Structure 1
Amino acid sequence: VISDNAFAYRHSTAFRDVIDAHGITQKFIRPHCPWTNGKVERLNRTLAAEWAYARPWTSNDDRRAALTAWLDHYNLDRTHLGIGGKTPIDRINNGRGQYS
């Protein structure tokens, strides 16, 4: 997990417990380099516009249930201008059969 240097990421014991429990390595962006988070910020904006607030949901459970299908679309079918009109899965050497 790469995060900014916010207090919550640096000092949260709850966050640390979760990443430790899953064997996740935590890295931090260089201080005063917010553009490092640019890709994540763009994904968050796309998530909000195309999934979370794209339509009214009857419940948070309904919205949560639709996330997997949206992520599959985003990674497997939706082309991205930033990577030359390819899908993210097309950039992975092991091909479509290995994604899940």
Structure 2
Amino acid sequence: AALEQALITRFGTLGRVPEPFLLRSDNGLVFTSRDYTRLVRSYGLKQEFITPHCPQQNGMVERVIRTLKEQCVHRHRFESQVHALRIIGDWIGFYNQQRPHQALKMMTPDAAYAATLTA
């Protein structure tokens, strides 16, 4: 479901991607499973794995996960999975739409992405 939502957000539709697109991940079971790799191929995505035990190769993603844990997950006691999904979803919205990022010249990720579409 997350892959499909990401494709809809990125390309506006669900189906084979209109351009070559690289999906980089670690070597976790989720990303290396037969079902997932089949799904990735069905959308025309190219899958690339980082070197085992080298998370710095996926540094930006690792940083987002660390920030999510520090600023959201570790600050809440979740009552249920639904509660966790709501709180984490709200935080992701804040992170992408309201929180300025130094690496993006103090723009939000949404604003920085929108700027690439008009450039």
Fold-level match, TM-score > 0.5? yes
**Distance of 1:73 and 1:7 partners within structure 2:** 27
Superposition map of 1:6-85 within 5 A: 6=27, 8=29, 11-29=32-50, 34-85=55-106
Percent identical across equivalent pairs? 29
Matched AA of 2:24: I
- Cα distance change on mapping 1:39 and 1:11 into 2, 3 Å: closer
Which deviates more, 11-20 or 39-48?
11-20
CA RMSD, Structure 1 to Structure 2 (Å)? 2.8
SS at match of 1:57: coil
Q: Deviations over 1:18-55 (max 9, x none)?
A: 32455443123367864221111101111112222221
* Contact 1:3–1:9 (CA under 8 A) maintained in structure 2: no
Matched AA of 1:3: S
**Distance of 2:32 and 2:109 partners within structure 1:** 33
Which deviates more, 46-55 or 16-25?
16-25
**How many matched pairs?**
94
Matched AA of 1:26: Q
Q: 1:3 aligns with which of 25, 45, 70?
A: 25
- Cα distance change on mapping 1:79 and 1:10 into 2, 3 Å: closer
Normalising by structure 2, what TM-score? 0.61
Normalising by structure 1, what TM-score? 0.70
The gaps in structure 2 that reach 5 residues or longer are 1-22
- Cα distance change on mapping 1:68 and 1:34 into 2, 3 Å: closer
**Distance of 2:71 and 2:96 partners within structure 1:** 13
